[in-house]
């Protein structure tokens, strides 16, 4: 498609044949591979040389079902290559990290986005489309336009308030995949596409429609940014409810798993499973962006974060109390990742608890995690932990703390003669489901009588 933007300017091409995906992590790499699979030429860019080399060898460094095959297929077909620096392309997808600052403020750290935008600035030409996928505070897409306005004064930026298209189109489109099902969900999930201008929205929509089978909903950039943050704050809220209920049940001497199983028999109640806290790159981070954007009014969202961040301290204190009763015991921590069946340890409350216990009782804490090897490679703090198999852990330890219900643990037999703190409900859930079923059967038999 050729479109004349302004009468005095040369016509520019809006066709997208070559996509540059900046950031080849859990979000960027599957997107790059899917764009390539749809027939586009894709250059994946990452500042990490190991990632770039791995992709070019058709390998992936993260554990994600189906991703390795997908990437290898596209690299072999020569539709996907990886580089350390961006090159000229028709469209740029930005999928770099957006952490918060670890200085106590929880303020968003936009330095990765700013650096990714600066790195593509030189390569930009009129007709390019830039889509931000990183989960970002409201106003970030507008902010990157300002960054580029300074870096490339020769390019005209869009002016949405006056409905004027610029030389570059911009959109914000958040990713909603769940680790473990990324290669399926990236295709089937509904997608929100927030265009800075109508043309930006339309071009981003058409680009994603190359592989997205889910519905794509068009809105503006700020609404799309808010959608993503609200989704994660909503999930944080529901998990916080389960976590607080679990602490209350402990205080009242009630089995939380049985209680939830029974409460969820209400047709309009669906309490989630409690756990050791909330971790990962998203839910434990993104709600802070809302708090930072409006600290005076984001009161519930802040409290929810505090409730979930309290849970690891609570678990630690529970183990501490147990150790007062068994002062010479060794402790086994089952599960370290931030949720079951993945190799992602970012902001993991389970890892935080295990490291804290290990610091308090050095040499007396062991950990079991099916992805422990990957953890040791990636996180220098994990070097302090002794990783063992389950049977070794049960042999050595009198106290067993179940933190993450990995598949490997779910059907494991409960060891005899151990003090068990079942935060993840590995065994407690099995037993409570049985109790609840028995209780319901009893009720039915009484009422039938
Ligand atoms: N992981 C998820 O499940 C998920 C889901 C939805 C949204 N998100 C959001 O997507 C974004 C990316 O998350 P992720 O999980 O893929 O992160 P990640 O850490 O797995 O990957 C990010 C990649 O970006 C690279 N990088 C950093 N700065 C760069 C730069 N200037 N240029 C090029 N590469 C650079 C890193 O080396 C890394 O490989 C974040 O904003 C996150 O909140 C993640």
* Cα 417 to averaged position of ligand 1 atoms, centre (Å): 44
On whether residue 162 sits in a domain, the answer given is: yes
First to last CA, the chain: 75
pLDDT confidence tier of residue 219, bands split at 50, 70 and 90: very high
For a pocket test of ligand 1, which of 63, 97, 134, 283 has the largest count of ligand atoms closer than 8 A to its C-beta?
A: 97
Judge whether 358 lies within some domain: yes
115 within a domain of the structure (yes/no) = yes
Instruction: Report the separation in Å between the CA atom of 153 and the middle of ligand 1, taken as the mean of its atom positions.
Output: 28
CA atoms of 58 and 74, how far apart (whole Å): 8
What is the distance in A from the centroid of ligand 1 to the CA of 134?
A: 7
pLDDT of residue 94 exceeding 50, the answer is yes
**Same-domain pairing of 186 and 260:** no
Q: Find out whether 296 and 302 touch, Cβ atoms under 8 Å.
A: no
Range of the domain at 298: 231-433
Mean pLDDT along residues 46-62 = 97
Flag whether 447 is in a domain.
no
* 266 and 183 co-located in one domain: no
Residue 284 pLDDT > 80: yes
How many domains does the chain divide into? Answer: 2
Q: What is the mean pLDDT of residues 313-337?
A: 97
User: Which residue puts its alpha carbon closest to atom 36 of ligand 1?
Assistant: 23
Residue nearest to atom 1 of ligand 1 (CA): 26
Q: Choose the catalytic residue: 20, 216, 282, 333.
A: 282
Q: Does residue 441 belong to any structural domain of this protein?
A: no
Q: Is 257 helix (H, G, I), strand (E, B) or coil?
A: helix
Tell me which residue of 227, 351, 218 sits closest to 289, measured CA to CA. Answer: 227
Q: How far, in Å, CA of 162 to CA of 433, rounded?
A: 59
The preferred substitution site among 96, 111, 147 for testing ligand 1, maximizing ligand atoms within 8 Å of CB, is 96
Active site residue 429: no
> What is the band of 1 on the pLDDT scale with cuts at 50, 70, 90?
very low
What pLDDT, on the 0 to 100 scale, is given for residue 386? 93
Average of pLDDT values for 305-332?
97
Q: In what order do the strands lie in the sheet with 18-22?
A: 80-83, 41-45, 18-22, 91-94, 129-132, 169-172, 191-195, 216-220
pLDDT in tens, 361-379: 999 999 999 988 878 777 7
Element (H, E) at 202: helix 198-208
Q: 282 catalytic, yes or no?
A: yes
Reported as a single tens digit per residue, the pLDDT across 162-202 is 889 999 999 999 999 998 899 999 999 999 999 999 999 99
Q: Do 159 and 204 have their domain in common?
A: yes
Query: Per-residue DSSP letters for 107-127?
Result: -B--HHHHHHHHHHHTT--TT
Ligand 1 centre to CA of 103 (Å) is: 21
Q: For residue 219, tell me if it sits in a domain.
A: no
Residues near ligand 1 (Cβ within 6 A): 22-28, 45-48, 51, 95-98, 112, 115-116, 119, 134-135, 175, 177, 179, 281-282
Classify 192 as helix, strand or coil.
strand
Q: Do 112 and 203 reside in the same domain of the chain?
A: yes
- Does one domain contain both 198 and 235? no
Q: Mean pLDDT throughout 396-404?
A: 97
Residues 65 and 95 in one domain: yes
pTM of the model: 0.90
For residue 283, give the CATH number of its domain: 3.40.50.720
On whether both 410 and 367 belong to a single domain, the answer is yes
Share the mean pLDDT of the chain: 92
Query: Stretch 76-104: mean pLDDT, rounded?
Result: 96
Q: Tell me if 449 is assigned to some domain.
A: no
194 backbone dihedrals φ, ψ, rounded to 5°: -105, 105
For the segment 260-275, the average pLDDT, to the nearest whole number, is 97
Assess if residue 35 is contained within a domain: yes
Q: Among 159, 187, 214, where does a domain finish?
A: 214
- For residue 29, give every residue at least 6 positions away whose Cβ sits within 8 Å of its Cβ, in sequence order, or none: 21, 44, 55, 60, 62, 67, 71
- In this predicted structure, what is the pLDDT of residue 150? 97
Q: Are residues 90 and 33 part of one domain?
A: yes
Q: In 3-state terms, what secondary structure has residue 428?
A: helix
307 pLDDT higher than 60: yes
pLDDT score of 266: 98
Cα 381 to ligand 1 centre (Å): 21
Buried b (16+ CB within 10 A) or exposed e, 250-288: eeeeebbbbbbbeeeeeeeeebeebbbbbbbbbbbbbbb
236 and 209 in a common domain: no
> Can you tell me the distance from the alpha carbon of 167 to that of 244, in angstroms, rounded to the nearest whole number?
51
């Amino acid at each position: 498609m050729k479109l004349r933007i302004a009468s005095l300017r040369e016509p520019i091409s809006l066709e997208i044949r070559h996509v540059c995906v900046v950031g080849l992590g859990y979000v960027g790499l599957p997107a790059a591979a899917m764009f390539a699979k749809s027939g586009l030429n894709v250059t994946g860019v990452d500042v990490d040389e190991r990632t770039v080399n791995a992709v070019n060898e058709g390998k992936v460094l993260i554990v994600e079902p189906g991703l390795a095959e997908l990437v290898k297929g596209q690299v072999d077909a020569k539709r996907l290559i990886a580089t350390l620096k961006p090159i000229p392309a028709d469209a740029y997808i930005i999928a770099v990290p957006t952490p918060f600052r670890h200085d106590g403020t929880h303020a968003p750290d936009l330095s990765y986005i700013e650096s990714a935008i600066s790195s593509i600035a030189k390569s930009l030409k009129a007709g390019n489309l830039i889509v931000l996928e990183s989960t970002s505070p409201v106003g970030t897409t507008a902010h990157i336009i300002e960054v580029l306005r300074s870096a490339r004064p020769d390019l005209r930026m869009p002016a949405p308030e006056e409905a004027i298209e610029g030389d570059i189109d911009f959109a914000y489109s958040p990713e909603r995949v769940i680790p473990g099902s990324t290669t399926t969900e990236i295709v089937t999930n509904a997608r929100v596409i927030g265009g800075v201008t109508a043309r930006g929205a339309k071009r981003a929509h058409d680009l994603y429609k190359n592989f997205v089978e889910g519905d794509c909903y068009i809105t503006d950039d700020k609404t799309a940014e808010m959608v993503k943050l609200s989704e994660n704050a909503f999930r944080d809220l529901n998990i916080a409810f389960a976590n607080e209920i679990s602490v209350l049940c402990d205080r009242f001497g009630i089995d939380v798993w049985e209680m939830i199983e029974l409460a969820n028999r209400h047709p309009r109640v669906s309490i989630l499973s409690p756990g050791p806290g909330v971790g990962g790159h998203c839910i434990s981070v993104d709600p802070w962006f809302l708090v930072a954007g409006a600290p005076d009014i984001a009161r519930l969202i802040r409290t929810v974060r505090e409730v979930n961040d309290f849970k690891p301290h609570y678990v630690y204190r529970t183990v501490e109390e147990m150790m007062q009763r068994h002062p010479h015991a060794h402790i086994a921590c089952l599960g370290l990742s931030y949720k079951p069946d993945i190799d992602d340890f970012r902001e993991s409350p389970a890892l935080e608890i295990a490291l804290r216990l290990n610091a308090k009782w050095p040499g007396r804490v062991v950990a079991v995690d099916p992805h422990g090897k990957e953890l040791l490679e990636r996180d220098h703090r994990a070097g302090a932990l002794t990783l063992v198999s389950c049977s070794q852990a049960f042999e050595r330890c009198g106290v067993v703390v179940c933190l993450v219900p990995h598949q490997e643990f779910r059907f494991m037999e409960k060891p005899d003669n151990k003090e068990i703190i079942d935060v993840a409900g590995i065994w407690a859930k099995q037993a409570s489901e049985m109790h609840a079923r028995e209780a319901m059967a009893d009720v039915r038999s009484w009422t039938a009588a």
